[in-house]
Amino acid sequence: MISNYGIYNNHELDNTLLILFSDKKSNKVTTLSEEMDVLYFNDELVGYRIRNFIKYAKIKYSGIIFLPADPLIDVINLILERYKLEELAYKVGSGYITKENKGKIGVYALKGTFLRDQSISLGRFCTYYDLYIDNENEHELVKIDDKVNEFIDFFMAEVK
């Protein structure tokens, strides 16, 4: 089972689900069917591409899926199993935690976390743009209400 991956949905254009294991850009594609591609950088597996994913599940959101629900992973794994491809482990966290930054609570992408631009974080604080949060200053760092605990998953945050 693959445990470190990022899932990106392109709902608006072609209902393609992209599952990445690396931020290396693929330079070789093996097409298994009209719906399934396996992506490589040279001989290194870097991801899967499932076209027309809407026939399996309806996702009305385009972009990175920060913390995919287990039922979504189950659907993806059924498809991967059909093609005898290595399946995905359930995510136990998004990789985005709440953390203090200059006296304020912010959102921090842990090292190894997939980012919005399909790169992998080396460990950094996130902007509103990174998290798809509407804000007129989208390139400012996210500031969280002080009632949110530090060092918890941002996508599972609870108020104190």
Q: Where are the domains of the chain?
A: 6-82, 93-160
The predicted-structure confidence for 58-105, as pLDDT tens digits, reads as follows 888 888 999 999 999 999 999 999 999 999 999 999 999 999 988 889
Q: How far apart are CA 135 and CA 75, in angstroms?
A: 33
Q: Facing residues of 104 across strands?
A: 101
Q: What is the mean pLDDT of the chain?
A: 90
Q: Is the pLDDT of residue 159 over 50?
A: no
Cα distances from 100 to residues 76, 135, 155, in angstroms, run 35, 20, 16
Q: How far apart are CA 19 and CA 47, in angstroms?
A: 5
Query: What's the predicted TM-score (pTM) here?
Result: 0.87
The predicted-structure confidence for 94-105, as pLDDT tens digits, reads as follows 999 999 988 889
Q: How far apart are CA 13 and CA 29, in angstroms?
A: 20
